[in-house]
A and B are shown apart, each in its own frame.
Chain A
C-alpha cells in the first residue's frame, strides 16, 4: 500500500486581503437576500455593500449564516410551523417589466374610476 506525501501549502499563499471575487460577491448577495423579509427585497431597497476583501466577505458571510440559522430556529419553534414548500419561481433582483397599458374603455361607455388606495 503506497503512502503519498502531500506537500504543505506555503504560508505566503495566505492572503485574506485578496480582493473578494465574483463568487464570494454572489454568495453574499444570496445570503443578504435570504435574511431579509420578502418586503425588503425590492430592487430599490435591496442595495448591499460589496465586500472588498476575502476577510471582509468571510466575516459578513459568518454573520449572515448565523442569522439564517437563528431565523430558522425561531420559525421551527413556532407551534404552527408548516413543512417547507418552496415558493413559486420568481425573477429575482431584476427590474420589473413595465405594466401593460390598460385597454381603452369601449366607445360610449365611461370606465368606472377606481379609487387609488392611500399610500
Chain B
C-alpha cells in the first residue's frame, strides 16, 4: 500500500527559477545542518593573479552580478575544469573567478562570483528548505545555458542542443504535456503574463497554445480547485509596465532583484497552501534551471549519455559533447504536507531536470516506453512523501 501522501496526490506543480547555484542560495545552511552539503568557509578559487578568492557570505540582492556571468557551454566548461582540456581531466570547480573575470576584466569584481547569501536574507527559500525536503544533489541537466536545460524539464532531453538556438523535438520523445493529453490527463505551463511570455516557444507555444495559461490563471485555478494534474510555472523575466503599474522581474536571473523572486516563490506556495483540498493533494517542486555561472563546490557527476552528440561548432570548446556529464548543482526543494520536516535528500541520490518528466510520467501514466535514455534513468522524487499523517504545522508567508 503506498504512503498516504502518494495515495492522495492529485497535482504536481514545478516552479523553475533562473540562474543561481546551490551554494550561492542555500550553501550557508550547512553551518546549522551538517547534513546539507554546503559551504564551510574553506572553499575558494584562484583569481587571475593567482591569489585565493574565498567564498564569502556577502551576496547582495542586486547590483553585484552585473554584467551577467557567462554561462555558455564553453564558459561552464572553464568553470568546472579550470581550462584543462586533457582527456583525463578532473572536475575541480576552480575556474569560476577566471570565467567571470572575462566579463569585465576587473579582478576585484570577478571575486564576487564566490559570494553567497546568508539564510536571513532569503526567508522564503530557507524556510521551505528547512521545513520540507532539500536536495543535496540536484544538478542542471547540461553544463550550459537556460533553454537547453529547460528542455530537459519539458521533454527529458534537449535533442542534442547545448545552447539557446531554435530547435525542434523529434517525434519520439513527446513533451510531458502531450503525454498527459494523450492519456486523458491535463498539463499546463503558466507564464507570468504576455509581456514575459514563455521560454518554450517554437514547439509548444507555437503549435499547442492550449497548454498555456498566465500566472493570474494559476492563482485563479488554485482558488477554484481547477489546477491541472501537472503545472509548470515560469516567473516574470523582465521589468515592465503592467495594467496596475510597475512589474518587477521575479526570475532571480542576475541582475534582477532576488527579493522579488522570494516573493514570487511565496506567492506560488501561498496559492496552494490556502486551499485546504489542494494543499493536501499537491506536491510543489521549486528548482532553478542552471547555476548562471555562479560558484558551486560540488563537481557535476558523469551520467548516462543521452544518445545525442553536440558537435564542436555548438560546444565551441573544440570538442564534442556526448551528454555524459551533468551541469552545475542548483537549489531544489520539494514541498508537501506529506514530507517530513527537515528532510535532507542524501548525497547518494542524484537528480537532474529529466527527473521532472520522469516523476510526472511515473505518477500519472505509469509505465511509459518512449523516453530519452536520460529520462529513463533519472531518479524520481515522490518517495519523499513519507508521512502517514498530514502535517498541520506548515508555515505561511505574509506578503504584506
Interface residues of A (CB under 8 A from B): 1-11, 13-16, 18, 20-24, 26-27, 29-31, 33-34, 54-55, 57-59, 61-62, 64-66, 68-69, 72, 84-90, 92-94
Known: A20-B238, A54-B240, A69-B209. A5 touches B400 (CB 8 A): yes
A9 and B263 form a contact (CB under 8 A):
yes
B197 and A14 form a contact (CB under 8 A):
no
Find the B residue at minimum CB distance from A15.
B239
Known: A9-B263, A86-B170. A21 touches B205 (CB 8 A): no
Interface residues of B (CB under 8 A from A): 18, 61-62, 68, 123-124, 127, 145-147, 159-160, 164-171, 194-199, 201-203, 205-209, 237-241, 246, 248-249, 253, 255, 257, 259-260, 262-263, 266, 392-400
Cα separation A87 to B199 with both chains bound (whole Å):
19
Using a Cβ cutoff of 8 Å, how many contacts connect chains A and B?
Answer: 168
Cα separation A21 to B256 with both chains bound (whole Å):
11
Cα separation A31 to B147 with both chains bound (whole Å):
13
Cα separation A81 to B123 with both chains bound (whole Å):
50
A4 and B68 form a contact (CB under 8 A):
no
CB-contact partner of B68 in A22, A54, A55, A61, under 8 A: A22
Q: How far is the CB of B224 from chain A (nearest CB, A)?
A: 23
B400 and A92 form a contact (CB under 8 A):
no
A2 and B199 form a contact (CB under 8 A):
no
Cα separation A82 to B209 with both chains bound (whole Å):
15
- In this complex, the member of A57, A68, A86 whose beta carbon has the largest number of chain B beta carbons within 10 angstroms is A86
Cα separation A115 to B400 with both chains bound (whole Å):
75
B260 and A9 form a contact (CB under 8 A):
yes
A14 and B398 form a contact (CB under 8 A):
no
Cα separation A4 to B398 with both chains bound (whole Å):
6
Question: Which residues of the partner chain A approach B394 to less than 8 Å between Cβ atoms?
Answer: 1
Known: A1-B394, A58-B196, A72-B207. A13 touches B253 (CB 8 A): no
